[in-house]
Structure 1
């Protein structure tokens, strides 16, 4: 039998990962573009089901930008973005309510259920999970930009998340928030995921993308960075290597790390096994971002000299 296909070696390696991550919360942020296709959703759901079966508690935060754009266009509502962030008029907010906790979330819940999970759909409004306040005008490129009905997070109350996880349910959260007077806001899903991960003291935060991870050159898929730290992201933003919708994502990664999240991973949501490869192999599949003083540190489960995957080495485990 080929050593690369040795099932017992694979099981031994998997057992090390399970020991390391059992009962450690993973927050998964799914971009709206990944939720458009049924096949993509099914593949993601299958990977999440594997993690869940290994007793890794999961919390999903989802966007729905593509779905929202299409609804706005169909209703003649203007779609406007600045620095990668959506400007939310009252009409756009109403459309967001229809989509985020409507078809976008329902389709995702159905696929997660089909994969054997027990998902519960929420938004930040439910059970006072997220309190927000209207974002004040922001200076961008020499002008003050009013983002409209956009909420900046002030408080996270994660009790409902812990209760759902303890009962064996998978929370699936849409990026709508509210203030204590009941005013509803659209909140950036990347920012919401980072805030939730910090509040939940999550072991990991994953952003599933259309690319393989963080690219030093957005036009070159081969320019994948396998590791980065906050300074790397800040420099790439300053140099223009990170821009558009990737900029708020990078900013939220920095926010999550500053909030105490140990590792943030940028991983393909299109590759059917990328998430599992990132978690269960030493090499990973995407980009792992952590504080610079943690790069290349080993754990009790890692062989310092090994670089292969868990499928062909006995004594390695994913550092991240």
Structure 2
């Protein structure tokens, strides 16, 4: 079964371990597709360009960067560099990696969100001028063709909006869409060991989620950046992924560890009747 590995873009995530581990898996014949983020690279470039990013909070409590036109230009440049650097690292490790953006081959497509609902000063508002979108379709055939020929796809945002414009999309949700389209296991690598019942206490790691009650406890526990990862896990399972694991990118052999008993394992059975 194909494994989709999402490598986070946070500053605390070192991709070297994941690169080496994916190389080992590919060498044994395991088909792997990689999806990457790039939040730190985008922030760093915005800083160098003297562009102040705007962060907004949705009515659901999710905080994210607002992507205006200038931010979108910086986002495209930064994500292109992250993709190139990752592909080079994979190839140096012996992986026949192919870099893709969500625009290439119409890999990730969907509706553009020209306006978003936000909460400012406790009030719900509409903020216009956004360059982001929601993925509605994945060109799974493109990925399957590459995997079938022995290549390892390495993909990331932007996506292609329905008006023909490249726009931002969340990398966790991009990985979820890819995993769902491929019917794959999804490993989401981040800078913590998984989802904690108490977000401030690593000893409260939730190791397995198999029932609706356990799923409710998981969503209640997820805070901050973990909210988006649990949301992405839900979307992946709803769209066809067989399992989602949220795990530590900085562990020894992080992907192999996650495919074993490391991290938080979320199973499709957890979404029954939810």
TM range (shorter): 0.7 to 0.9
Question: How far apart, CA to CA, are the structure 2 residues paired with 1:228 and 1:61?
Answer: 23
Q: Does 1:117 align with 2:95?
A: yes
Partner of 2:239: 259
Q: Which has the higher strand share?
A: 2
Question: How far apart, CA to CA, are the structure 1 residues paired with 2:33 and 2:127?
Answer: 31
Q: Does 1:62 align with 2:36?
A: yes
Partner of 1:300: none
Partner of 1:212: 193
Rg bigger for which structure?
1
Question: How far apart, CA to CA, are the structure 2 residues paired with 1:119 and 1:56?
Answer: 14
Partner of 2:83: 105
1:171-195 superposed Cα distances (whole Å, 9 cap, x missing partner) = 0111101124421100000111111
Question: How far apart, CA to CA, are the structure 2 residues paired with 1:188 and 1:43?
Answer: 23
Q: Please tell me whether the aligned partners of residues 233 and 250 of structure 1 are also in contact (alpha carbons under 8 angstroms).
A: no
Kindly report the root-mean-square deviation, in angstroms, between the aligned alpha carbons of the 2 structures: 2.2
Q: Does 1:273 align with 2:245?
A: no
Partner of 1:318: none
Q: How many pairs are equivalent?
A: 262
Question: How far apart, CA to CA, are the structure 1 residues paired with 2:108 and 2:249?
Answer: 26
Partner of 1:163: 145
Q: Please tell me whether the aligned partners of residues 111 and 162 of structure 2 are also in contact (alpha carbons under 8 angstroms).
A: no
Q: Secondary structure at the match of 2:131?
A: coil
Q: Secondary structure at the match of 1:150?
A: strand
1:86 Cα shift?
2.1
Partner of 2:2: 25
Where does the alignment leave 5 or more consecutive residues of structure 1 unmatched? 1-23, 295-320
1:14-163 to 2 correspondences below 5 Å: 24-33=1-10, 40-81=14-55, 82=57, 83-102=62-81, 104-135=82-113, 136-138=115-117, 140=119, 142-146=123-127, 148-163=130-145
Q: Does 1:291 align with 2:273?
A: no
Q: Please tell me whether the aligned partners of residues 87 and 146 of structure 1 are also in contact (alpha carbons under 8 angstroms).
A: no
* C-alpha spacing 1:93/1:160, structure 2 compared with 1 (3 Å): same
Where does the alignment leave 5 or more consecutive residues of structure 2 unmatched? none
